[in-house]
Chain A
Amino acid sequence: MKQGLYFVDGGIACAEGALYAGCRFFAGYPITPATSIVKRMAERLPQLRGYYVQMEDEIASMAAIIGASWAGGKAMTATSGPGFSLMQENLGYAYLTETPLVVVDTQRSGPSTGQATMPAQQDVMQARYGTHGDIAPIAFAPWSVQEMFDFTVYAFNYSERFRTPVLLMADGAISYMREPLNIPKKGELPIVNRRSLSKDDPNPDEIFLRYEMPKFGDGHDLLVTGSAHRPTGVRDYSPRYHRATIHWLFEKQKEAGKALQQEGLDLEVHNLDNADTVIISFGAAARPAYKAVLAAQKEGESIGFIRLKTLWPFPENQLTKLVKDMKRIFVVEMNMGMMIREIERVGCQAQVTGIPKVGGEIHHSNEILQKIRG
Chain B
Amino acid sequence: MSQQTTPLGKQQQYYRKKYLRNLPTAFCTGCGNGSILGCFVRAVDALVVGKQLQQRDLLCVSGIGCSAWIPSPYFKGDTLHTTHGRAIAFATGAKIMNPKLEVVVFTGDGDGAAIGGNHLIHAARRNIPLKVILVNNQVYGMTGGQSAPTTPFGVHSSTYQSNPEPPFDLSRLALGAGASYVARWTTYHIDDIITSMQEALLHPGFVFIEIISQCPTYAARFFNEYRDSLSPKERKQFHRNPGAWMLKALKGKRTGKNLGHPRYELTLKDQTIELGVFIREERSTLTETLQSLWK
Contact = CB atoms under 8 A, between A and B. Distances in A.
B80 A53 contact: no
Contact of A224 (B21, B80, B101, B122): B80
B264 to A, nearest CB: 33
Interface stretch (A63-71, A177-185, A263-271, A338-346): A63-71
A25 B93 CA distance: 8
B61 interface: yes
Given A46-B294, A217-B101, A64 B56 contact: no
Interface residues of B, number: 35
B97 A224 contact: no
Contact of A67 (B21, B92, B118): B92
Given A49-B294, A217-B100, A234 B73 contact: yes
Interface stretch (B83-91, B211-219, B269-277): B83-91
Contacts of A24: 97
Given A59-B89, A225-B72, A67 B80 contact: yes
B179 to A, nearest CB: 15
A53 B95 CA distance: 12
Interface in A189-235: 216-227, 233-235
Contact of A226 (B59, B82, B98): B82
Contacts of A70: 80, 94
Given A67-B80, A93-B83, A57 B72 contact: no
Contacts of A27: 92-93
A19 B45 CA distance: 41
Contacts of A216: 59, 78, 80, 94, 98, 101
Nearest to A66: B90
Given A217-B100, A223-B72, A225-B72, A71 B93 contact: yes
Contacts of A223: 72-73, 79, 81
Interface in A61-98: 61, 63-73, 75, 89-90, 93
Secondary structure at the B interface, as helix, strand, loop or mixed, is mixed
Given A51-B290, A217-B78, A59 B101 contact: no
A60 B91 contact: no
Interface string A21-51: 0001101000000000000000000100101
| Residue among B56, B78, B93 facing the most chain A CB atoms (10 A cut-off) | B93
Given A67-B80, A234-B23, A234-B73, A217 B90 contact: no
A255 interface: no
Contacts of B96: 25, 51, 53, 64, 68
Given A46-B294, A216-B94, A224-B79, A235 B59 contact: no
Contacts of A69: 93
Interface residues of A, number: 44
Contact of A93 (B82, B92, B95): B82
Given A56-B122, A68-B94, A226-B81, 18 more contacts: A53-B93, A53-B96, A57-B118, A60-B92, A60-B122, A63-B119, A67-B91, A68-B97, A71-B98, A71-B101, A72-B98, A90-B86, A216-B80, A217-B78, A221-B78, A222-B79, A225-B73, A235-B81
Interface of B: 21, 23, 56-57, 59, 61, 72-73, 76-83, 86, 89-98, 100-101, 118-119, 122, 290, 293-294
